[in-house]
């Protein structure tokens, strides 16, 4: 999968992890996030254009350099540790695909690890060479 496609798929997160500074009824992943690091298949990828993600009650939008790259929805199981999501891409170059991922929110930092479409869900927050996993780190921007 090309790097741009991986970036577009990263972290369509609607995690329901309780956070101390947010109301319990609102998942802490809601809001706008800026990507600050990404590792694809064990290799750190230099960040180029600004990549942001906005998560709402209806889904997510990933923007690269202020242009929509992808949109979608996520079904989240917050009873699992780490939280698990099945992400469905509804718009963009990989529309119609489903991605299995794990994630966590720690204050204003969101960390996600995902498989390629059709791949096995990661079990930890690591992207080893040959794993075909994408590990991403985001900071809250709004």
pLDDT in tens, 85-101: 999 999 999 999 999 99
Tokens coding 130:
């040959």
Q: Please give the pLDDT value at position 25.
A: 53
CA–CA separation, 41 and 25 (whole Å) = 35
Write down the pTM of the prediction: 0.82
Are the C-beta atoms of 126 and 113 separated by less than 8 Å? yes
Per DSSP, 57 falls in state: T
CA–CA separation, 21 and 105 (whole Å) = 12
SS3 3: helix
Q: Please give the pLDDT value at position 24.
A: 52
SS3 125: coil
Q: Quick one: fold of 3-140?
A: Lipocalin (2.40.128)
Q: Please give the pLDDT value at position 1.
A: 44
Domain boundaries, the chain: 3-140
**pLDDT tens for the 142 residues of the chain, in order:** 444 444 444 444 434 333 344 445 567 889 999 999 999 999 999 988 899 999 998 999 999 999 999 999 999 999 999 999 999 999 999 999 999 999 999 999 999 999 999 999 999 999 999 999 999 999 999 7
Q: Please give the pLDDT value at position 48.
A: 80
């Amino acid at each position: 999968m090309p790097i741009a496609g991986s970036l577009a798929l990263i972290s369509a997160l609607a995690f329901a992890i309780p956070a101390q500074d947010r109301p319990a009824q609102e998942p802490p992943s809601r809001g706008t996030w800026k990507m600050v690091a990404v590792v694809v298949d064990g290799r750190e990828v230099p960040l180029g254009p600004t990549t942001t993600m906005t998560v709402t009650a209806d889904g997510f939008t990933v923007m690269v350099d202020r242009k929509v790259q992808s949109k979608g929805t996520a079904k989240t199981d917050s009873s699992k540790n780490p939280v698990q999501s099945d992400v469905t891409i509804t718009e963009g170059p990989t529309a119609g695909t489903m991605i299995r991922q794990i994630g966590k929110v720690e204050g204003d930092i969101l960390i996600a690890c995902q498989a390629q479409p059709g791949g096995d869900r990661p079990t930890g927050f690591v992207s080893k060479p040959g794993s075909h996993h994408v590990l991403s780190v985001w900071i809250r921007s709004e």
